[in-house]
Amino acid sequence: MTIEAPHSPQMDPPQPPCEAYPALSAYLSRTEAAGRAKPPGGTQAARRADRAPGRAPAATAGDTGRAGARDTGRGQGTAQARGVALPVRVGPGRMRAGIVAGAGAVAGLWGAQAEPSARLDVLFATGAHLTGLLAGYGILVMLLLMARVPAVEHGVGADRLARWHALGGRYVLSLCLGHALFALCGHAAHTGTDLLAATTDLLGYGAIAAATAGTGLLVAVGATSARAVRRRVPHETWRAVHLLTYLGAALAFAHQLVGPDVAGHAVTVWLWAMMHATVAVLLVWYRGVVPVRQALRHSLRVIEVRAEGPEVVSVLVQGIGLDELRAEPGQFFRWRFLQRRIWHTALPFSLSAPVRDDTLRITVKAAGDHTRRIRRLRPGTRVLATGPFGALTAHRRTRRKVLLLAGGVGITPMRALFETLPGAPGDLTLLYRAGDAAHLVLRDELEHIARTRQAGLHYLLGPSGAAYDPLAPQALRGLVPDIAAHDVFLCGPPRMVEAATAALTRAGVPAGHIHSECFTF
C-alpha cells in the first residue's frame, strides 16, 4: 500500500465545516464586510482575493471564492442538521484562567476561615493550611494537565501542557515541603515539644504518615525530573519513577479531607472529594480505557517500512475504522510497536500524511537507539497508538495566506498540512530548512503537492551557523514579501523554532499568528 499525494490535477483538499475555523471565519467575515463597505473604485481582483479559501485550487480565484462562500453556508447547515459534534478545544488562555480562578477559590476558602493571631503556633498552622490547600489543588492541576483530555490536548497542545506541568511541578513540590515544615513547626510550638518529638507524634496519625510517604514519592519524582538527573537516567527509568506521582497523590488524599479548612462543612468535604474523583476518573478514562478500547477496536499493524532518505524511514500502519480517530493533519500519536526490544517505549511521532484507506503513516529519523530499531520493524507487528494529540492543526488559522516553515524531520506534520490546508493558488507556501539536499525528506511528494496546488515551495539549504542565514528576517521577507499577512505554522528542532520565531517577529509577523509545536518533552 502506498500513500501518495493524489495525481489528479484538480485535487480537492478536504473542506470541513466553516465553524471548525472560527478565527479564520471571523477574519474573513471582517474583510468581506470591509470590502463591501469600500467605494466602488476597488478592483474586482482585490474583492475576489478576500473571499473564503475555495474548493478547487485550479479554478479562478473569483469562482473559488463564491464556491467557498456557498459551501460554507451549506456545510454549516448540514453539520447542524446531522447533529455532528465539532471538536471541542479549550484554548491556553481559557485553561490558564481556569487554573488561576481555581487557585483563587482555594485561597478564598482558606481566607474565609483564617483567624488572625500573633501566636507562633497559630501563625505556623495558618501557613500550613494555606500551603496545604494550594499544594493539594496544585497536584490535581498537574495530574489534569497530563490526563490527555482531548479538548485540552487539542486546544492547548501537548508541548505546552508538558512545559506547564514541568514548571508547575516545581512550585507544587515547594508547596508540599513548605506545608510539611509549617505543620511540623506549628505542632511543635502548640505542644511545647521539640521538632523530633513533634515528628514522632504526627507520624502516629495514619493519614499523616501516608501523606509523608506520598511527599517522599513526589520528592523522588521531582529529583529524577531535574534536568541534570534526567539526562543521565534512561527514559524508561524516569517514566517508571514518574508514575509514582499517582501513588503519592493517593497517599496524600485522606489527610486533606480532615484538614480544618475542608472538614469544616460537609459540602466542602464533598466538593474537595469531587475534585479529586473527577481528576481520577479522567485519568482512568483517557489514559487507561480509551487506549485499550482503541487498540481492540482498530487492530493496528505495520504493513510496510519504507526508506525515505539517510537514516529516515516511513512506517505505514493499517487498521480498521481509523476515521473514528478523527486525526487531523498536524497531529501526532504516541506509538508503541509490539516487537522485541522496542515494545517498552512509546514515543510521539506526527502523521506525515492524512489518514487514507484506514492507513496511518509516520516518518521517523533515527536519532537514538529506539528510533534506530524502528527501521527494523517487521510487517505484521502489532501497534498500540494513543491519540491523536497536538494543537498544530488547521483550526489555528486566522488568515487566508499560510506559511509553513519546517526544519529537519519537522517536515512530517508540515507535509500533511501542505496537502490538506484549504487554500486557493498562491495562498500556501512551504519553506523547508535542511543541511543539504541529501537530507530533504519526502521531496517528490512535496514537489507534486506544490505543482498540483500551485503553492510555493522553497528549500533553505546550508549548515546552521553559516554566514548566510536563510531564516534571517530579510531573507524571509525576500522569499515571502507579504509575510506579515500570513499565518505561520512552524515545526522543527527547538533551537531552529526559537530562532525562526524571533526572525518572524522581526519580519513583522504578529506573535499571535505564529503557531508552533516542539516535540522534545
Partner 1 sequence: MARHRRPRPASPRPTARARVRLAAGLVGASALAATVLSGTVAPAAPAAPDRAPSAGTGTSDVAQDSGD
The site for partner 1 (CB under 8 A) is made up of 82-85, 88, 114-115, 117-119, 121-122, 124-126, 129, 186-187, 189-190, 201-202, 205-208, 253-255, 257-260, 266, 269-270, 272-274, 276-278, 280-282, 285, 301, 303, 318, 320-321, 323-324, 326, 379-380
Least distance between partner 1 and beta carbon 111 (Å): 13
Tell me whether residue 60 or residue 117 sits nearer to partner 1 (CB atom).
Answer: 117
Q: What is the closest distance, in whole angstroms, from the C-beta atom of residue 272 to partner 1 in the complex? A: 8
Q: How many of the other CB atoms lie within 10 Å of CB of 375?
A: 14
Q: How far is the CB of 281 from partner 1 (least distance, A)?
A: 5
The residues, any chain, with a CB within 8 Å of residue 227's CB and separated by 6 or more, are: none
Pairwise CA distance, residues 128 & 107, whole Å: 12
Assign residue 385 a region (left: φ > 0; alpha: ψ between -120 and 50; beta: otherwise).
beta
**489 — phi, psi (to 5°)?**
-105, 130
Q: Are 492 and 434 in contact (CB under 8 A)?
A: no
Judged by beta carbon, residue 83 or residue 465, the one nearer partner 1 is: 83
Q: Which is nearer to partner 1, 272 or 389 (CB)?
A: 272
Residue 99: its H or E element: helix 92-113
Q: Which CB, 311 or 358, lies closer to partner 1?
A: 358
Q: In the complex with partner 1, which residue's Cβ is closer, 325 or 488?
A: 325
Q: Given the DSSP bridges, would you call strands 383-389 and 401-407 parallel, antiparallel or unpaired?
A: unpaired
Cis geometry, peptide bond prior to residue 388 (ω within 30 degrees of 0): yes
> What are the residues whose beta carbons fall under 8 Å from the beta carbon of 107, sequence distance 6 or more?
130, 133, 134
Minimum CB–partner distance for residue 55 and partner 1 (Å): 20
In contact, 318 and 350? CB cutoff 8 Å: no
Residue 4 CB, nearest distance to partner 1 (Å)?
20
Q: How far is the CB of 87 from partner 1 (least distance, A)?
A: 9
Q: Is 321 helix (H, G, I), strand (E, B) or coil?
A: coil
Output DSSP code: residue 397.
Answer: -
When the beta carbons of 324 and 447 are compared against partner 1, the nearer one is: 324
Least separation, in Å, of the C-beta of 28 and partner 1? 24
E strands present in 312-455: 312-318, 332-337, 347-350, 359-365, 383-389, 401-407, 428-434
Nearer to partner 1, 90 or 220 (CB): 90
CB of 192 to partner 1, least distance (A): 9
Helix (H) / strand (E) containing 34:
helix 22-37
Of the two residues 345 and 381, which places its CB atom closer to partner 1 in the complex?
381
**Contact of 397 with 23, CB cutoff 8 Å:** yes
Could you give the CA distance from residue 429 to residue 395 in angstroms, rounded to a whole number?
18
Residue 255 neighbours by CB distance under 10 Å: 20
Quick one: 267 or 467, whose CB is closer to partner 1? Answer: 267
Contacts of 207 by beta carbon, 8 Å cutoff, 6+ apart: 254, 255, 258
What is the Cα–Cα distance from 74 to 76, expressed in whole angstroms?
5
Q: How far apart are CA 402 and CA 425, in angstroms?
A: 11
Nearer Cβ to partner 1 (194/323): 323
The distance of closest approach from Cβ of residue 257 to partner 1 in the complex, given in angstroms and rounded to an integer, is: 5
CB-nearer residue toward partner 1: 323 or 340: 323
- Residue 8 φ then ψ, to 5°: -65, 135
Cell of 275: 475534585
Torsions phi, psi of 302, nearest 5? -70, 130
The nearest distance, CB 179 to partner 1, in angstroms, is 13
Distance CA 336, CA 239 (A): 14
Q: Cell 487498521 belongs to which residue?
A: 319
Q: Work out how close the CB of 379 gets to partner 1 at its nearest, in angstroms, rounded to a whole number.
A: 6
In angstroms, give the least distance from the CB of 381 to partner 1.
10
Q: Which is nearer to partner 1, 135 or 402 (CB)?
A: 135
